[in-house]
Structure 1
Amino acid sequence: MVLDLLLIALAITLDPLPLMAFVLVVASTGGARKGLVFLLSWLACLVLVIAIVLLLTGGQPPPPRSPPSAAALGVKLAVGVALVVYGEHRRRRLAALRASGGAAPEPGAEPAPGAPSPGAAAAGADGASSASLTTEMDRTTGWAAAGLAVLLQPWGLVAAGATTVVEADTSHLASWFALFGFCVLATASLLAVELYVVFSPTAARARLLALRAWMERHSEQAVVALCLLLGFWLVGKSIYQLTG
């Protein structure tokens, strides 16, 4: 259980989509306060899911090969398959976008006189996009930040975590440490950004927006890798436990 929880939490914290949105939240006016509200709402979702699962199981894992145990493994298998299908869908869409984007410029080719370089154009577009989104975020409230955290929660990954929490035995202190570690690790990247904004507010805004622009260019690859790797792990582990 512990390894599965840590892997799922790592996938959650590395998911680029919530992190990119969180960067906009903390880079806006009153960002530190809005970021804290976002974090608390994010954590509340995780804690609520864990609490519901423990309430249903009574804090005791179902006996091996029992109907509840098989059902939990079946759900975990379904989540794993869904992640693989979703990751493969995103991979194919990314490949199609690359194929339709035209041939890359020849190495050493010079741009036409007066034309901006592709890198400069992309950087300018990213900067304009981030500035526009940050301006929109300036007008949001703490309640909006809390709702954004709920909407951007990677619920597929959280569902995978819920199927693993079924195995938790709350009579052992190690299970509580594992559940606590899951919540902390799943929030680690957001917490690191929040602390950076709190302790270095002047430098944080520009650097975080630059980080967001970089992540926006590589988010598809990250989502594909996370979904496929975690999906195959969950599928393999579930099949092994169901047939072992």
Structure 2
Amino acid sequence: MVLDLVLIGLAVTLFPLPVMAFVLVVASPRGVRKGLVFIAAWLACLVAVIGAVVLLTGGKPPAPRSPPSTAAQVVTLVLGIGLVGYAWYRRRRVRRGAAAEPAAERVPRKAASPDGVSVRSAAALPVLLQPWGMVGAAAATVVQADLSDAGNVVALVVFCLLATSSLLAMELSVVFSPERAHRTLAGLRGWLTRHKEPAIFGLCVLLGLWLISRSLYQLAP
């Protein structure tokens, strides 16, 4: 479980779309405050998903090969296949030269108005841009968490922090070195704008294949 959560957390924090949106948020007037709102909403999504799973399981993992355990592995398998399929869908879309962007990806550009991103938008963007397929895979993994084990509790906390680490790093850089941070983040956003498709493809395929292989191994007789 721990390794799965670490890999999923890394994929979530490196996913380009939220990073690009966060750069716009912290670049707007009162960006530090709005960045904190963004991070709080981002963490709230993660905590809500994990909390819902823990409430369902009672903090105790189901017995191996039991129907709930098997269902969690099947969900993981489906999400892994979905991530790989999503990666190939985006790849084909780029090759066809599709002009229209998905609605969620147009939100950050609309937010880049002369007045910057509003506080309300800063709170809404994490919900719209959260990589929910990856978060769903984390939720299916958390089914195996045993809250009576301190190590499992630490793993859940580490996952939330790891999945938020890129945002936290950018927020801290803006707080302690604003001018340098804004130049660096502007360059980062430009780089991601040019390379986001290969990044999304690579992250989704690698994580998807990992989830598929892990779930098939667990489901094997």
- State TM-score, norm by structure 2: 0.91
Deviation track 1:48-84 (CA, whole Å, cap 9, x = no partner) reads 1000000000001110111111111111111001001
Which of residues 194, 204, 207 in structure 2 aligns to 1:217?
Answer: 194
Could you tell me how far 1:208 is from its partner in structure 2? 1.0
1:243 aligns with 2:204: no
CA contact 2:43–2:164 (8 Å) conserved in 1 = yes
Name 1:88's counterpart in structure 2. 88
Deviation track 1:170-229 (CA, whole Å, cap 9, x = no partner) reads 000000110011001000001000001000112222221121011110000000000000
CA RMSD of aligned residues (A): 1.6
2 CA distance for matches of 1:135 and 1:93? 25
CA contact 1:25–1:137 (8 Å) conserved in 2 = no
Name 1:38's counterpart in structure 2. 38
Name 1:138's counterpart in structure 2. 115
1:200 is matched by which residue type in structure 2? S
CA contact 1:28–1:134 (8 Å) conserved in 2 = no
- How many positions carry a matched residue from both structures? 211
Which of residues 152, 155, 167 in structure 2 aligns to 1:175?
Answer: 152
Structure 1, unaligned runs of 5 or more: 98-131
Please give the residue correspondences for 1:1-244 in structure 2 after superposition, counting only pairs within 5 Å. Answer: 1-97=1-97, 135-136=112-113, 138-244=115-221
Q: Secondary structure at the match of 1:192?
A: helix
CA contact 2:46–2:135 (8 Å) conserved in 1 = yes
1:22 is matched by which residue type in structure 2? F
Higher relative contact order (CA 8 A, sep 6+): 1
- State TM-score, norm by structure 1: 0.83
Could you tell me how far 1:149 is from its partner in structure 2? 1.3
1 CA distance for matches of 2:29 and 2:15? 25
Q: Secondary structure at the match of 2:62?
A: coil
CA contact 1:24–1:137 (8 Å) conserved in 2 = no
1 CA distance for matches of 2:133 and 2:112? 30
Deviation track 1:90-109 (CA, whole Å, cap 9, x = no partner) reads 22333444xxxxxxxxxxxx
Q: Secondary structure at the match of 1:136?
A: coil
1 CA distance for matches of 2:7 and 2:58? 24
1 CA distance for matches of 2:95 and 2:21? 25
Query: Would the alpha carbon gap of residues 137 and 83 (structure 1) be closer, same or farther in structure 2, given more than 3 Å must change?
Result: farther
CA contact 1:77–1:234 (8 Å) conserved in 2 = yes
CA radius of gyration, larger in: 1
1 CA distance for matches of 2:124 and 2:204? 24
CA contact 2:24–2:116 (8 Å) conserved in 1 = no
2 CA distance for matches of 1:140 and 1:81? 35
CA contact 2:77–2:212 (8 Å) conserved in 1 = yes
1:180 is matched by which residue type in structure 2? V
1:222 is matched by which residue type in structure 2? A
CA contact 1:42–1:150 (8 Å) conserved in 2 = yes
1 CA distance for matches of 2:67 and 2:156? 24
2:28 is matched by which residue type in structure 1? S
